[in-house]
Amino acid sequence: YPLFVVEKLASSLIDPFFFRMEDEEGGTTTTTMMEEDREKRRENIVVLGTGWGAASFLKNIDTNKYDVTVISPRNHFVFTPMLAGASVGTVDFKSITEPIREVRYVEASATSIDTTARAVSCVSVSCEGNTCETVEFDVNYDRLLFSVGARTTTFGIPGVEEYTNYLKQVGDAMQIKNAIVNCFESASLPKMTDADISRELTFVIIGAGPTGIEFAAELLDFIEEDGSRYYKDLLPRVRIRIVEASSTILRPFEDGLKNEALSRLTRTIEIPGVPKFRPLEVLLNKQVSEVSAKYIYFKDGDRLEYGMALWAAGIGPLPLTTSLIEELDGTMQRNAQTEFARGRLGVDPWLRVIGGGGRIFSLGDCSCMSNTPFLPATAQVASQQGEYLGRLLSNEYSIDVATKSSSSTSLLPPMVIDRDQPRSFSERIASFTMGDDEVAAPFQFLDLGILAYTGSGSALAQVQVAPGRGDPTSETWNPVRLQIKGKLGFGLWRSIYLWKQTSPKNVVLVTLDWIKVKLFGRDISIL
Ligand code: FAD
């Protein structure tokens, strides 16, 4: 910490902006002038969303230089990697959220953006007593950060929206927790037939990506560790089915780790006083064609009865993103989109929206960078982009790029400033937004690896230690990856998730939740 303070002080003393003022004013003190200068030019940044990208941007943007307003229907940040745990009671909902309050916050959804008038149209709900009404209003911006994320996509399959659960928000996790407990409670009712019990206790997870697999692992833990305290007689009847349209699970992981995950998930469960049982099966190459209140139908003609179903099969663009693409120069936008990222807002390597005149920035799941390898829709990408953009606009540049003596402790690449032509803050920002690419280094994603929890105190970690050769999007690109699994992977998984919490409060709460669950088990109260 003392080193960090010294670094910060040193970097502010050698800020090139000070140099310029000293040259022009012949060595007179410049602090007051500089502050006045900046004050006059204070711009208004409107941030849409309170997710990973926005939260990271807000941590890094200098609020002395900008007026920042956040618009989002959600007044808190959610640590999404722990939503699966929250949906079975491994951690409390409150422990993985953090309110957004240090800047001006408007609880509303953006409905459209007028890029000519630089205004965001919003809708909110205002209530007095039991009467609620919809309120519509506009918010003007000098610069806009479009970070609204993505939505769960149903691929137009009938019944998915009506009958399955999603796992994206805290509200979804609460609903899932209640649905699981309700299935067990219904199966415990008198006069239930065998067929009814089997149906109630069949949990179907559609999508075998990291979200689907982690949810399955948490559900299995709940059944193994706490099931016998509440529903001992029912346990051997429980069936968990992971359904996947492709031929593999956990696509981003190497084969060895996929197999490890499969063997953990399909393990036989032994609980004293309960016959051994193996509740989980993975069904590959199964495409869902329709969902009804009782059945999931597949394209091959099969069907599966279920008590609760989770849809974790992919994400797609929000209508607001699609309409902004059309509002901007649609053709330019479409040309910028890679084959993998249809429907996402095209940005340049400095995160400026293509066709947005340098006024609009975008990051995270709603955007894709043109002319660069496709970046996955992950929290890791969104938060690195948020940090990059926050620092970029806050003018936190590296002074000496050649030696990479960045003034920041961040892992992100340094931002380049043209030292021969020092400019005022506003000039620099203007030239940056006009496309003067010399001013700042483009965003570069630093791949820190991927993690997945696989249940019963084991997890997978895959860390890239050396890049492959050639094109990272091609099949032949073969980087060197370190694979960690089992208890070691679990230790790493827990440590990283604690380290990544947004505040010390969340670190304490999550740790206490883990201890609580170890000592007293999960809470199954229906809320
Ligand atoms: P989000 O975090 O989705 O935030 C979008 C924000 O925009 C939200 O606040 C939303 O309320 C707001 N918004 C939406 N519509 C509007 C509107 N009209 N107007 C204003 N605001 C709006 N990634 C990893 O790297 N590692 C993991 O382990 C991992 N696990 C995950 C587990 C789950 C269950 C889920 C759902 C995701 C997981 N991800 C993980 C992915 C990661 O959460 C996303 O990639 C990340 O949230 C993207 O960040 P974002 O800022 O783009 O969008």
ipTM over 0.90: yes
Q: How many Å lie between the centroid of ligand 1 and the Cα of residue 356? A: 23
Does ligand 1 lie within 6 Å of residue 168's CB atom? yes
Q: From atom 28 of ligand 1, which residue's Cα is the shortest distance away?
A: 81
The predicted structure's pLDDT at residue 332? 65
The predicted structure's pLDDT at residue 415? 46
Does ligand 1 lie within 6 Å of residue 382's CB atom? yes
Q: From atom 14 of ligand 1, which residue's Cα is the shortest distance away?
A: 148
Distances (CA, A) of 141 to 43, 45, 98, 176, 294: 8, 6, 25, 38, 48
86 neighbors 93 (Cβ within 8 angstroms): yes
The predicted structure's pLDDT at residue 327? 85
Q: How many Å lie between the centroid of ligand 1 and the Cα of residue 54? A: 10
Q: From atom 42 of ligand 1, which residue's Cα is the shortest distance away?
A: 379
The predicted structure's pLDDT at residue 523? 85
The predicted structure's pLDDT at residue 472? 59
**Dihedrals φ, ψ of 402, to 5°?**
-60, -40
Q: What is the CA angle 303-309-313, rounded to 5?
A: 90
Domain positions in the chain are 40-73+108-150+317-396, 160-315+447-520
The two domains 40-73+108-150+317-396 and 160-315+447-520 share their CATH topology (first three levels equal): yes
Q: How many Å lie between the centroid of ligand 1 and the Cα of residue 150? A: 7
Q: What is the CA angle 482-208-285, rounded to 5?
A: 115
Measured between alpha carbons, how far is 435 from 84 in angstroms, rounded to an integer? 42
**Atom of ligand 1 at shortest range from CA of 83:** 34
Measured between alpha carbons, how far is 209 from 442 in angstroms, rounded to an integer? 30
Q: How many Å lie between the centroid of ligand 1 and the Cα of residue 169? A: 8
The predicted structure's pLDDT at residue 34? 45
160-315+447-520: CATH, from 3.90.1150.10, 3.50.50.100, 3.30.870.10, 3.40.50.12170: 3.50.50.100
The predicted structure's pLDDT at residue 403? 34
Beta strands 450-455 and 458-466 are antiparallel
241 neighbors 283 (Cβ within 8 angstroms): yes
Sequence-distant (6+) residues with CB within 8 A of 24 are none
**Dihedrals φ, ψ of 500, to 5°?**
-85, -5
Does ligand 1 lie within 6 Å of residue 378's CB atom? yes
The predicted structure's pLDDT at residue 338? 59
Helices (DSSP H) in 266-396: which residue ranges? 319-327, 330-336, 379-394
Q: How many CB atoms lie within 10 A of CB 77?
A: 23
Give the per-residue SS3 of 185-248: HHHCCCCCCHHHHHHHCEEEEECCCHHHHHHHHHHHHHHHHCHHHHHHHHHHHCEEEEECCCCC
Residue among 313, 150, 301 nearest 246 (CA)? 313
Q: How many residues does the chain have?
A: 527
What is the token pair recorded at 362?
């975008």
- Look-up: residue for tokens 């060197």? 480
**Atom of ligand 1 at shortest range from CA of 381:** 25
Tell if the pTM clears 0.90, that is, is over it. Answer: no
Q: Which of 56, 74, 76, 80 to mutate to test the pocket of ligand 1 (most atoms within 8 A of CB)?
A: 80
Q: How many Å lie between the centroid of ligand 1 and the Cα of residue 221? A: 25
Does ligand 1 lie within 6 Å of residue 83's CB atom? yes
100 neighbors 56 (Cβ within 8 angstroms): no
The continuous run of DSSP H or E covering 180 comes out as: helix 170-187
Does ligand 1 lie within 6 Å of residue 147's CB atom? yes
Q: Which of 48, 52, 58 to mutate to test the pocket of ligand 1 (most atoms within 8 A of CB)?
A: 52
First to last CA, the chain: 43
Q: From atom 11 of ligand 1, which residue's Cα is the shortest distance away?
A: 74
Does ligand 1 lie within 6 Å of residue 167's CB atom? yes
Q: How many Å lie between the centroid of ligand 1 and the Cα of residue 197? A: 36
From first to last of its 527 residues, the chain has per-residue pLDDT tens of 344 334 434 443 333 332 223 333 333 333 333 444 545 558 899 999 999 999 999 999 989 889 999 999 999 999 999 999 999 999 999 999 999 878 999 999 999 999 999 999 999 988 888 888 999 999 999 999 999 999 999 999 999 999 999 999 999 999 999 999 999 999 999 989 999 999 999 999 999 999 999 999 999 999 999 998 989 999 999 999 999 999 999 998 999 999 999 999 999 999 999 999 999 999 999 999 999 999 999 999 999 999 999 999 989 999 999 999 888 866 666 666 655 567 889 888 888 888 887 789 999 999 998 767 778 899 999 999 999 899 888 865 443 333 333 333 333 344 454 444 444 545 554 444 444 444 567 788 888 889 999 999 999 999 877 766 666 556 666 777 789 999 999 999 999 999 999 899 999 999 999 999 999 999 888 76
**Atom of ligand 1 at shortest range from CA of 109:** 19
Residue among 233, 98, 103, 100 nearest 170 (CA)? 98
Q: From atom 45 of ligand 1, which residue's Cα is the shortest distance away?
A: 378
Q: How many Å lie between the centroid of ligand 1 and the Cα of residue 7? A: 33
Look up residue 287 and give its amino acid.
Answer: Q
Does ligand 1 lie within 6 Å of residue 384's CB atom? no
Measured between alpha carbons, how far is 103 from 61 in angstroms, rounded to an integer? 11
Distances (CA, A) of 134 to 108, 123, 160, 505: 10, 7, 28, 35
Does ligand 1 lie within 6 Å of residue 58's CB atom? no
Helix axes 486-499, 504-520, angle to 10 degrees: 140
Q: Which of 58, 60, 70, 72 to mutate to test the pocket of ligand 1 (most atoms within 8 A of CB)?
A: 72
> DSSP string of 506-526?
HHHHHHHHHHHHHHH------
Q: Which fold has domain 40-73+108-150+317-396?
A: FAD/NAD(P)-binding domain (3.50.50)
Q: What is the DSSP letter of 376?
A: P
Does ligand 1 lie within 6 Å of residue 506's CB atom? no
Q: From atom 27 of ligand 1, which residue's Cα is the shortest distance away?
A: 81
Does ligand 1 lie within 6 Å of residue 72's CB atom? yes
Does ligand 1 lie within 6 Å of residue 86's CB atom? no
Residue among 138, 222, 130 nearest 184 (CA)? 222
Q: Which of 113, 378, 381 to mutate to test the pocket of ligand 1 (most atoms within 8 A of CB)?
A: 378
Does ligand 1 lie within 6 Å of residue 207's CB atom? no
Q: How many Å lie between the centroid of ligand 1 and the Cα of residue 17? A: 37
Does ligand 1 lie within 6 Å of residue 362's CB atom? no
The predicted structure's pLDDT at residue 177? 96
**Atom of ligand 1 at shortest range from CA of 111:** 18
484 neighbors 492 (Cβ within 8 angstroms): yes
